[in-house]
Amino acid sequence: MNAVLLAADGVNVAQNIGFGIIAAGMIFAALCVVSTKNVVHAALWLVVVLGGVAAQYVLAAAEFVAVSQVMVYIGAVMVLFLFGIMLTRAKIGEESGLNNKGWAIGIPVAVVLFGLLAWAVLDTYGDDTIAEPQLTGANNESTVDIADRVLSPYLAPFFGMTFVLLAAAIGAIVLARKD
Amino acid sequence: MLAANFLLLAAVLFCIGVFGVIARRNAVMVLMSIELVLNSVNLNLVAFALMNDDVDGQVFALFVIAIAAAEVGVGLAMVLLIYRNRRSISLDELSELKG
Protein backbone atom coordinates (compact mmCIF):
# COMPACT_ATOMS: atom_id res chain seq x y z
CA MET A 1 0.00 0.00 0.00
CA ASN A 2 2.88 2.33 0.74
CA ALA A 3 4.32 1.90 -2.72
CA VAL A 4 0.93 2.68 -4.19
CA LEU A 5 0.63 5.74 -1.96
CA LEU A 6 3.93 7.25 -2.96
CA ALA A 7 3.61 6.45 -6.64
CA ALA A 8 1.73 8.68 -9.01
CA ASP A 9 -1.93 8.03 -8.44
CA GLY A 10 -3.41 9.58 -11.55
CA VAL A 11 -4.28 12.82 -9.74
CA ASN A 12 -1.82 15.69 -10.35
CA VAL A 13 0.86 13.40 -11.76
CA ALA A 14 3.41 16.18 -12.28
CA GLN A 15 2.99 17.32 -8.68
CA ASN A 16 3.46 13.77 -7.45
CA ILE A 17 6.70 13.35 -9.38
CA GLY A 18 8.05 16.67 -8.08
CA PHE A 19 7.00 15.74 -4.58
CA GLY A 20 8.75 12.37 -4.81
CA ILE A 21 12.03 13.78 -6.10
CA ILE A 22 12.15 16.57 -3.49
CA ALA A 23 11.08 14.20 -0.71
CA ALA A 24 13.83 11.71 -1.57
CA GLY A 25 16.43 14.49 -1.51
CA MET A 26 15.09 15.81 1.80
CA ILE A 27 15.16 12.41 3.49
CA PHE A 28 18.71 11.73 2.27
CA ALA A 29 19.86 15.16 3.49
CA ALA A 30 18.11 14.70 6.85
CA LEU A 31 19.87 11.36 7.33
CA CYS A 32 23.16 13.09 6.54
CA VAL A 33 22.39 15.78 9.15
CA VAL A 34 22.06 13.20 11.91
CA SER A 35 24.87 10.92 10.75
CA THR A 36 27.73 13.05 9.39
CA LYS A 37 30.86 13.39 11.49
CA ASN A 38 31.51 16.98 10.43
CA VAL A 39 29.52 19.67 12.25
CA VAL A 40 29.77 22.23 9.44
CA HIS A 41 28.63 19.66 6.88
CA ALA A 42 25.64 18.86 9.10
CA ALA A 43 24.66 22.55 9.01
CA LEU A 44 25.00 22.63 5.22
CA TRP A 45 22.91 19.45 4.81
CA LEU A 46 20.32 21.10 7.02
CA VAL A 47 20.14 23.90 4.42
CA VAL A 48 19.17 21.25 1.84
CA VAL A 49 16.39 19.95 4.09
CA LEU A 50 15.06 23.44 4.80
CA GLY A 51 15.14 24.35 1.11
CA GLY A 52 13.28 21.14 0.34
CA VAL A 53 10.64 22.03 2.90
CA ALA A 54 10.24 25.42 1.21
CA ALA A 55 9.81 23.67 -2.15
CA GLN A 56 7.15 21.41 -0.64
CA TYR A 57 5.33 24.50 0.62
CA VAL A 58 5.26 25.82 -2.95
CA LEU A 59 3.83 22.49 -4.09
CA ALA A 60 1.21 22.81 -1.34
CA ALA A 61 0.22 26.27 -2.66
CA ALA A 62 1.60 28.09 0.40
CA GLU A 63 3.88 30.62 -1.27
CA PHE A 64 3.98 33.10 1.60
CA VAL A 65 5.04 30.41 4.05
CA ALA A 66 7.65 29.21 1.56
CA VAL A 67 9.19 32.67 1.25
CA SER A 68 9.12 33.09 5.04
CA GLN A 69 10.82 29.71 5.37
CA VAL A 70 13.61 30.75 3.02
CA MET A 71 14.12 34.12 4.71
CA VAL A 72 13.89 32.99 8.33
CA TYR A 73 15.48 29.55 8.21
CA ILE A 74 17.96 29.63 5.34
CA GLY A 75 18.70 33.33 5.81
CA ALA A 76 18.77 33.84 9.56
CA VAL A 77 18.73 30.56 11.46
CA MET A 78 21.51 28.98 9.39
CA VAL A 79 23.75 32.01 9.94
CA LEU A 80 23.06 31.66 13.67
CA PHE A 81 23.97 27.98 13.52
CA LEU A 82 27.19 28.65 11.65
CA PHE A 83 28.12 31.34 14.18
CA GLY A 84 27.30 28.93 16.99
CA ILE A 85 29.55 26.27 15.46
CA MET A 86 32.31 28.81 14.95
CA LEU A 87 32.10 30.31 18.45
CA THR A 88 32.14 26.92 20.14
CA ARG A 89 35.33 26.14 18.19
CA ALA A 90 34.26 22.96 16.52
CA LYS A 91 37.08 21.17 14.78
CA ILE A 92 37.38 21.84 11.08
CA GLY A 93 36.98 18.48 9.43
CA GLU A 94 35.85 15.19 10.88
CA GLU A 95 35.36 14.90 14.58
CA SER A 96 34.89 11.80 16.66
CA GLY A 97 32.69 11.77 19.73
CA LEU A 98 29.75 13.62 18.22
CA ASN A 99 27.46 10.79 19.26
CA ASN A 100 26.44 9.57 22.68
CA LYS A 101 27.61 6.22 23.94
CA GLY A 102 24.12 4.79 23.67
CA TRP A 103 23.27 6.37 20.32
CA ALA A 104 22.11 3.06 18.81
CA ILE A 105 19.05 3.15 21.11
CA GLY A 106 17.82 5.99 18.92
CA ILE A 107 17.35 3.69 15.91
CA PRO A 108 14.65 1.43 17.40
CA VAL A 109 12.99 4.46 18.99
CA ALA A 110 12.82 6.24 15.63
CA VAL A 111 11.65 3.14 13.77
CA VAL A 112 8.89 2.35 16.28
CA LEU A 113 7.80 6.00 16.32
CA PHE A 114 7.65 6.04 12.52
CA GLY A 115 5.65 2.82 12.48
CA LEU A 116 3.15 4.33 14.89
CA LEU A 117 2.87 7.60 12.98
CA ALA A 118 2.62 5.89 9.59
CA TRP A 119 -0.07 3.55 10.91
CA ALA A 120 -2.06 6.48 12.31
CA VAL A 121 -1.73 8.51 9.09
CA LEU A 122 -2.64 5.63 6.79
CA ASP A 123 -5.48 4.53 9.04
CA THR A 124 -6.95 8.04 9.06
CA TYR A 125 -6.29 9.27 5.53
CA GLY A 126 -5.71 6.05 3.59
CA ASP A 127 -6.56 6.83 -0.03
CA ASP A 128 -7.91 10.38 0.44
CA THR A 129 -6.79 12.66 -2.34
CA ILE A 130 -6.17 16.39 -2.27
CA ALA A 131 -7.89 18.46 -4.91
CA GLU A 132 -5.51 20.31 -7.19
CA PRO A 133 -4.59 23.62 -5.56
CA GLN A 134 -6.04 26.54 -7.45
CA LEU A 135 -2.96 28.45 -8.54
CA THR A 136 -4.18 31.37 -10.57
CA GLY A 137 -1.10 33.55 -10.77
CA ALA A 138 -1.68 37.12 -9.74
CA ASN A 139 -5.19 36.35 -8.57
CA ASN A 140 -3.99 33.83 -6.02
CA GLU A 141 -5.08 35.43 -2.78
CA SER A 142 -3.71 33.12 -0.10
CA THR A 143 -1.37 35.89 1.06
CA VAL A 144 -4.30 38.28 1.38
CA ASP A 145 -6.17 35.62 3.34
CA ILE A 146 -3.20 35.12 5.66
CA ALA A 147 -3.01 38.86 6.32
CA ASP A 148 -6.76 38.96 7.05
CA ARG A 149 -6.47 36.07 9.50
CA VAL A 150 -3.37 37.36 11.28
CA LEU A 151 -4.73 40.86 11.71
CA SER A 152 -8.24 40.00 12.84
CA PRO A 153 -8.98 36.64 14.52
CA TYR A 154 -5.34 35.86 15.38
CA LEU A 155 -4.39 39.38 16.45
CA ALA A 156 -3.99 38.54 20.15
CA PRO A 157 -1.71 35.52 19.50
CA PHE A 158 0.21 37.68 17.04
CA PHE A 159 0.84 40.30 19.72
CA GLY A 160 1.79 37.55 22.13
CA MET A 161 4.29 36.26 19.61
CA THR A 162 5.86 39.68 19.22
CA PHE A 163 6.44 39.79 22.98
CA VAL A 164 7.93 36.30 22.88
CA LEU A 165 10.34 37.42 20.17
CA LEU A 166 11.26 40.52 22.16
CA ALA A 167 11.81 38.47 25.31
CA ALA A 168 13.88 35.95 23.38
CA ALA A 169 16.06 38.65 21.84
CA ILE A 170 16.66 40.32 25.21
CA GLY A 171 17.22 36.95 26.88
CA ALA A 172 19.74 35.89 24.25
CA ILE A 173 21.66 39.14 24.69
CA VAL A 174 21.65 38.82 28.49
CA LEU A 175 22.78 35.19 28.33
CA ALA A 176 25.53 35.65 25.77
CA ARG A 177 27.12 38.92 26.86
CA LYS A 178 30.47 38.83 28.58
CA ASP A 179 31.02 40.72 31.80
CA MET B 1 -2.04 14.08 -4.85
CA LEU B 2 -2.70 11.78 -1.93
CA ALA B 3 -3.29 13.38 1.44
CA ALA B 4 -0.97 10.88 3.12
CA ASN B 5 2.08 11.88 1.04
CA PHE B 6 2.87 15.06 2.97
CA LEU B 7 2.01 13.49 6.30
CA LEU B 8 4.26 10.47 5.70
CA LEU B 9 7.16 12.70 4.63
CA ALA B 10 6.65 14.78 7.77
CA ALA B 11 6.60 11.60 9.87
CA VAL B 12 9.92 10.47 8.35
CA LEU B 13 11.53 13.87 9.05
CA PHE B 14 10.13 13.87 12.60
CA CYS B 15 11.57 10.44 13.34
CA ILE B 16 14.99 11.36 11.90
CA GLY B 17 14.94 14.47 14.10
CA VAL B 18 14.04 12.44 17.19
CA PHE B 19 16.88 10.04 16.39
CA GLY B 20 19.25 13.01 16.13
CA VAL B 21 18.13 14.38 19.51
CA ILE B 22 18.73 11.00 21.14
CA ALA B 23 21.96 10.11 19.37
CA ARG B 24 23.92 13.37 19.25
CA ARG B 25 26.19 14.54 22.04
CA ASN B 26 27.12 17.94 20.63
CA ALA B 27 24.58 20.57 21.77
CA VAL B 28 24.58 22.41 18.42
CA MET B 29 23.80 19.15 16.60
CA VAL B 30 20.89 18.53 19.00
CA LEU B 31 19.52 22.00 18.15
CA MET B 32 19.77 21.15 14.44
CA SER B 33 17.79 17.95 15.02
CA ILE B 34 15.15 19.98 16.85
CA GLU B 35 14.91 22.17 13.73
CA LEU B 36 14.15 19.02 11.72
CA VAL B 37 11.32 18.16 14.12
CA LEU B 38 9.86 21.69 13.99
CA ASN B 39 9.98 21.69 10.19
CA SER B 40 8.14 18.39 9.97
CA VAL B 41 5.38 19.84 12.13
CA ASN B 42 5.20 22.90 9.86
CA LEU B 43 4.91 20.64 6.83
CA ASN B 44 1.97 18.91 8.51
CA LEU B 45 0.27 22.22 9.25
CA VAL B 46 0.60 23.40 5.65
CA ALA B 47 -0.65 20.03 4.38
CA PHE B 48 -3.73 20.33 6.61
CA ALA B 49 -4.31 23.84 5.30
CA LEU B 50 -4.24 22.41 1.77
CA MET B 51 -6.59 19.56 2.67
CA ASN B 52 -9.17 21.77 4.31
CA ASP B 53 -8.81 24.54 1.72
CA ASP B 54 -8.31 27.05 4.51
CA VAL B 55 -5.32 29.25 5.35
CA ASP B 56 -5.51 28.79 9.14
CA GLY B 57 -2.88 26.07 8.91
CA GLN B 58 -0.52 28.41 7.08
CA VAL B 59 -1.00 31.06 9.76
CA PHE B 60 -0.10 28.49 12.40
CA ALA B 61 2.96 27.48 10.38
CA LEU B 62 4.09 31.12 10.34
CA PHE B 63 3.66 31.32 14.12
CA VAL B 64 5.72 28.14 14.54
CA ILE B 65 8.47 29.57 12.30
CA ALA B 66 8.65 32.71 14.48
CA ILE B 67 8.76 30.74 17.73
CA ALA B 68 11.40 28.39 16.28
CA ALA B 69 13.59 31.35 15.39
CA ALA B 70 13.30 32.63 18.97
CA GLU B 71 14.08 29.16 20.29
CA VAL B 72 17.24 28.88 18.20
CA GLY B 73 18.42 32.30 19.38
CA VAL B 74 17.98 31.50 23.06
CA GLY B 75 19.27 27.94 22.63
CA LEU B 76 22.47 29.01 20.95
CA ALA B 77 23.00 31.73 23.57
CA MET B 78 22.74 29.04 26.26
CA VAL B 79 25.14 26.80 24.35
CA LEU B 80 27.63 29.67 24.14
CA LEU B 81 27.28 30.29 27.88
CA ILE B 82 27.88 26.61 28.64
CA TYR B 83 30.89 26.58 26.32
CA ARG B 84 32.33 29.65 27.99
CA ASN B 85 31.97 28.15 31.46
CA ARG B 86 33.04 24.58 30.73
CA ARG B 87 35.05 24.65 27.47
CA SER B 88 32.83 21.86 26.19
CA ILE B 89 29.33 21.49 24.80
CA SER B 90 28.98 17.75 25.31
CA LEU B 91 25.53 17.24 26.77
CA ASP B 92 26.44 14.07 28.68
CA GLU B 93 28.95 16.01 30.78
CA LEU B 94 26.28 18.37 32.12
CA SER B 95 25.29 16.25 35.10
CA GLU B 96 25.60 18.57 38.11
CA LEU B 97 21.87 18.46 38.76
CA LYS B 98 21.78 14.67 38.84
CA GLY B 99 20.82 13.51 42.34
CATH architecture label of B3-88: Orthogonal Bundle (1.10)
Asked if A34 contacts B26 with a C-beta cutoff of 8 angstroms, the reply is: no
> B27-52 and A39-59 are packed helices; what angle lies between their axes, rounded to 10 degrees?
0
- The distance of A79 to chain B (nearest Cα, Å) reads 11
Residue from A48, A65, A119, A170 whose CB has the most chain B CBs within 10 Å, to mutate: A65
Sign of CA dihedral A71, A46, A52, B72: negative
Of B23, B72, B77, the CB nearest to A106: B23
Q: Which residue has the higher pLDDT, B33 or A128?
A: B33
Residue range A75-127, pLDDT digits in tens: 999 999 999 888 887 666 677 777 888 888 999 999 999 999 999 999 988 77
CB-based contact, A147 to chain B, within 8 Å: no
For residue B32, the chain A residues in CB contact (below 8 A) are 33, 42-43, 46, 81
Quick check: A4 pLDDT over 60?
no
B-facing residues of A in 32-91 (CB < 8 A) are 33-34, 39, 42-43, 46, 49-50, 53, 56-57, 60-62, 64-65, 68-69, 72-73, 76-77, 80-81, 83-85, 87-90
The predicted model gives A31-35 an average pLDDT of 93
Residue A135 dihedral angles phi and psi, to the nearest 5°: -95, 110
Separation between Cα atoms, residue B61 and residue B63, nearest integer Å: 5
Of B9, B16, B47, the CB nearest to A110: B16
For residue B58, the chain A residues in CB contact (below 8 A) are 62, 64-65, 142, 146
Asked if B39 contacts A50 with a C-beta cutoff of 8 angstroms, the reply is: yes
The predicted model gives A49-73 an average pLDDT of 92
Query: What's the ipTM?
Result: 0.91
Among the residue ranges A11-20, A72-81, A148-157, B46-55, the one predicted with the least confidence is A11-20
